[in-house]
Structure 1
């Protein structure tokens, strides 16, 4: 090999290395559209494995893998923070709701609207399959330790869930039809004005669970009727 040939081959190798460095496998295409939901005028913060969050303009499907959970026990010695979720950060007072559809398999499969600060500070409004085999509503508020509550069974595989913020107070609601609401619980969180809000799914005992969120609604507004959240 003469020196000119070596220089040509060396330049080619260097060029290939630079291309490999600049365009790693699986890198996002510059200018590609980011996932968005038409009803939410916010950037979406995706916390999910590839394919586990399927977003279009009107719906979101979350696929929870085996063992996924968002949980803190009552003394803070056990916790899990492994659920797929899609979050956004609203400002001020708001009213946020969605229709939640669930094809339950194992106990504690569930779909939730959540308020999330970090792994020790969050609130969860959960439509889940109870150990009894019936769907129902449960909530957890975590502030270093968890405060679980169960709110009775619900008929069918769909329910409407709603999260409202007024100043530093959050309120959870449920509804069978998205029009007539029942207040579930109120709570506060540290840094209430800067937490994120969104969607989560879990399957702590199952192989996989799919949750579908549709009829998603959001508006910056202060409720006038506390009991309805409207």
Structure 2
């Protein structure tokens, strides 16, 4: 399982932040007011995220990344964002797995599944400066996992999306703050998916 050279990936959302490539990884810096969310109560949808984009292969796959946000404000986060063929450019269907700061200062795993409007769910509190995030396509559905060490994985969400995920963005966000920097490293994209999504593998 070889790590991806982040310098080979396309930069997306450059108008909302920046990407700096450093030895061993990259820093994605989001400006203030950056987010992706389509409120289920009818509020205005937003999709303003800087990051790096990977194109998904055919067949089942797994993408992992370690993110270490420099948290400052509520909802600052580093995240993986699954983009369907209808969900590039802000409209349609997409999903996001984030390591995020809550309004009361806790840091936690958060997932958002958007089928026209967003279904937002808070996961467990996660201590430490970094968290491994993993997105999987099984060939029939999608799964989000988190890990503190990159070895044992806990299932956070198992879901479907209309359309096909064609890209995964590694992003930073700062919806309520002045900006957030996220260190990203140990990014891998491999063929296949876990045989059992719930056994820690």
The interval holding the TM-score normalised by the smaller chain is 0.7 to 0.9
Partner deviation per Cα, 1:146-168 (whole Å, 9 max, x = no partner): 10000121111211111111113
> Is residue 115 of structure 2 the alignment partner of residue 148 of structure 1?
no
Closer/same/farther in 2, CA of residues 166 and 123 from structure 1, 3 Å limit: same
Task: Choose the corresponding residue for 2:155, options 159, 183, 195.
Answer: 183
Aligned-pair RMSD on alpha carbons? 2.3
- Size of the aligned set, in residue pairs, is 193
Partner deviation per Cα, 1:18-61 (whole Å, 9 max, x = no partner): xxxxxxxxxxxxxxxxxxx9526996332132770123574121
Gaps of 5+ in 1: 1-36
- Name the counterpart of 1:44: 9
Larger relative contact order (CA 8 Å, sep ≥ 6)? 2
2:7 touches 2:21 (CA, 8 Å); kept in 1?
Answer: no
- Structure 1 stretch displaced more, 199-208 or 69-78: 69-78
Cα deviation, residue 228, structure 1:
4.7
> Is residue 190 of structure 2 the alignment partner of residue 224 of structure 1?
no
1:114 touches 1:200 (CA, 8 Å); kept in 2?
Answer: yes
Gaps of 5+ in 2: none
Q: TM-score, normalised by structure 2?
A: 0.87
2:50 touches 2:171 (CA, 8 Å); kept in 1?
Answer: yes
Cα deviation, residue 75, structure 1:
4.3
Larger radius of gyration: 1
2:142 touches 2:158 (CA, 8 Å); kept in 1?
Answer: yes
- Structure 1 stretch displaced more, 126-135 or 70-79: 70-79
- Name the counterpart of 1:34: none
Task: Choose the corresponding residue for 2:72, options 105, 108, 126.
Answer: 105
What is the CA–CA distance in structure 1 between the aligned matches of 2:188 and 2:3, rounded to whole Å? 9
Partner deviation per Cα, 1:159-211 (whole Å, 9 max, x = no partner): 1111111113110000110001100001111222x521120110011111101
> Is residue 66 of structure 2 the alignment partner of residue 95 of structure 1?
no
What is the CA–CA distance in structure 2 between the aligned matches of 1:142 and 1:101, rounded to whole Å? 24
Q: TM-score, normalised by structure 1?
A: 0.77
2:38 touches 2:46 (CA, 8 Å); kept in 1?
Answer: yes
What is the CA–CA distance in structure 2 between the aligned matches of 1:44 and 1:61, rounded to whole Å? 13
